[in-house]
């Protein structure tokens, strides 16, 4: 374990150029590392023909040709953008050019208990959609997707909707309506998770469980088929995939690939600091497992298992980057990159002292940084340029479709992480 100086990350940030795609050289992924296969996009144990798009010399179906055409610019550098973004933090055109795809929302059910009544987008979401869509005039390669749902209570409505033919038809028509109204290029579903009654802790101390059914898994597939038929061949469809659903307990990912363009594998929210109980202490978004932490998982393992267990091609998955982390007192439960910088530079988090708990530590095994005390006990996990570089290099060398970040507003005001991510994804 060694302490690394924050000045290194700042120097790297200052070196990052603007994100104008027109100024970038064509992307040349780095050669495979010593532990990577020569052709990471193809599983040597399967017929290469089942992994469309990995071999440019192989004939592809009309469906795959349509998918490749609607994907837009790749490798993908996507980001989630929510209505919680402050007006003062609304991106400039230069900021937007850091991304090839933006998932904007949230959209949620008007009647979550019954799954009908249509969809609604909380203010200022509709205004943000119009303003982002206006950037297409100067950045026509930009793809905007409506994202729907969330965790816990925010996923309510999906189960009731997906099991009913009429409600499912209304949902699909609402997706078409919103895409047409706001000039969007597709839909991203964030149903966390089919068959799982996720819980939300309410302000009064009670726990709210969202609706869920054992039939959700099969109904998710039906929903994706209906959504593709409603949206047609030119719109994108993606969904947020749980990092540990590589056995397909929630979603039959292999089946839905015939209607869905790609998965956003949420390789984050995999652990909390838990300084009072080291047995529960884990990074939020580790790339690899670490022997320092019990039951440690890694994002690379999750991707590999999606590929080997469900047969998901690498080029149909995006790797999730956390622009945030988790904290324990004296930090709040969620720690943005901007807050981590504040802790390192000023010894405060949201103006509250975190002195003595703000030393930057590096876990070499998981390729992750964190904030802790002098003994190296973790109090806040987060990502910076150094940790993101390892994740970007993994995505490129493995042949993934790209990366995506949760979420835009967690970056600092200078855009350190977004500019660095774009540059690393596009450098030779």
User: Can you tell me the distance from the alpha carbon of 343 to that of 330, in angstroms, rounded to the nearest whole number?
Assistant: 11
Is the preceding omega at residue 274 within 30 degrees of 0, hence cis? Answer: no
Q: Find the DSSP H helices in 106-163.
A: 125-134, 158-162
User: Can you tell me the distance from the alpha carbon of 191 to that of 158, in angstroms, rounded to the nearest whole number?
Assistant: 7
| Coil/strand/helix, residue 296 | coil
User: Can you tell me the distance from the alpha carbon of 149 to that of 255, in angstroms, rounded to the nearest whole number?
Assistant: 22
Of 117, 114, 116, 146, nearest to 130 by C-alpha is 146
Q: What are phi and psi of 331, to 5 degrees?
A: -85, 155
**pLDDT at residue 5, as a whole number:** 38
**105 has which bridge partners?**
82
Q: Where do the structural domains in the chain lie, given as residue ranges?
A: 18-34+65-323+383-426
User: Can you tell me the distance from the alpha carbon of 364 to that of 241, in angstroms, rounded to the nearest whole number?
Assistant: 27
Q: Find the DSSP H helices in 140-273.
A: 158-162, 165-182, 216-231, 253-256
Biggest CA-to-CA distance, the chain:
61
For 31, counting Cβ atoms within 10 Å of its Cβ (0-12 exposed, 13-18 middle, 19+ buried), the class is exposed
For the domain made up of 18-34+65-323+383-426, the CATH class stated in words is alpha beta
Token duo for residue 314 = 């690498």
User: Can you tell me the distance from the alpha carbon of 94 to that of 20, in angstroms, rounded to the nearest whole number?
Assistant: 7
Q: What are phi and psi of 150, to 5 degrees?
A: 145, -160
**pLDDT at residue 20, as a whole number:** 53
**pLDDT at residue 58, as a whole number:** 56
**Residue-by-residue pLDDT tens, the chain, 428 positions:** 433 334 334 334 443 445 654 443 333 333 333 333 333 333 333 333 334 344 444 578 888 888 999 999 999 999 999 999 999 999 999 999 999 999 999 999 999 999 999 999 999 999 999 999 999 999 999 999 999 999 999 999 999 999 999 999 999 999 999 999 999 999 999 999 999 998 888 888 899 888 899 999 999 999 999 999 999 999 999 999 999 999 999 999 999 999 999 999 999 999 999 999 988 889 999 999 998 887 778 999 999 999 999 999 999 999 999 999 999 999 999 999 999 999 999 999 999 999 999 999 999 999 999 999 999 999 999 999 999 999 999 999 999 999 999 999 999 999 999 999 999 999 86
User: Can you tell me the distance from the alpha carbon of 369 to that of 348, in angstroms, rounded to the nearest whole number?
Assistant: 18
Provide the CA 77 distance to its chain's centre, in angstroms: 10
């Amino acid at each position: 374990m060694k302490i690394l100086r924050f000045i290194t990350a700042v120097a790297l940030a200052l070196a990052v150029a603007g994100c104008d795609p027109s100024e970038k050289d064509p992307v040349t992924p780095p050669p495979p590392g010593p532990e990577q296969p020569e052709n990471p996009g193809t599983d040597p144990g399967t017929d290469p023909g089942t992994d469309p798009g990995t071999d440019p010399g192989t004939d592809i179906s009309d469906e795959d040709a349509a998918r490749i055409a609607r994907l837009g610019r790749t490798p993908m550098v996507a980001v989630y953008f929510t209505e919680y973004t402050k007006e003062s933090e609304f991106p400039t055109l230069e900021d937007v050019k850091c991304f090839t795809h933006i998932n904007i929302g949230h959209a949620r059910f008007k009647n979550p208990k019954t799954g009908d009544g249509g969809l609604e987008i909380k203010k200022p979401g509709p205004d943000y959609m119009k303003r982002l869509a206006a950037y297409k005039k100067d950045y026509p390669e930009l793809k905007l997707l409506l994202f729907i749902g969330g965790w816990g209570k925010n996923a309510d409505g999906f189960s009731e909707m997906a099991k009913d033919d009429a409600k499912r038809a209304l949902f699909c028509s609402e997706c078409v309506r919103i895409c047409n109204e706001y000039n969007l290029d597709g839909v991203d579903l964030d149903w966390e998770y089919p068959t799982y009654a996720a819980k939300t802790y309410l302000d009064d101390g009670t726990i709210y469980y969202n609706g869920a059914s054992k039939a959700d898994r099969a109904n998710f597939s039906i929903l994706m088929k209906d959504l593709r038929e409603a949206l047609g061949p030119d719109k994108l469809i993606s969904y947020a995939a749980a990092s540990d659903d590589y056995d397909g307990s929630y979603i039959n990912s292999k089946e839905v690939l015939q209607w869905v363009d790609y998965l956003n594998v949420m390789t984050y929210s995999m652990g909390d600091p838990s300084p009072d109980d080291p047995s529960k202490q884990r990074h939020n978004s580790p790339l690899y497992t670490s022997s320092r932490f019990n039951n440690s998982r890694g994002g690379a393992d999750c991707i590999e298992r999606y590929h080997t267990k469900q047969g998901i091609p690498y080029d149909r998955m995006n790797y999730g980057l956390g622009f945030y982390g988790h904290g324990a007192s004296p930090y709040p439960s969620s720690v943005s990159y901007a807050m981590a910088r504040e802790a390192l530079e000023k010894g405060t988090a949201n103006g509250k002292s975190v002195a003595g708990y703000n030393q930057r530590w590096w876990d070499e095994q998981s390729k992750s940084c964190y904030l802790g005390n002098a003994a190296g006990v973790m109090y806040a996990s987060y990502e910076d340029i150094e940790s993101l570089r390892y994740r970007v290099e993994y995505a490129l060398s493995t042949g993934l479709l790209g990366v995506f970040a949760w979420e835009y507003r967690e970056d600092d005001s200078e855009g350190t992480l977004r500019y660095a991510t774009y540059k690393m994804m596009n450098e030779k």
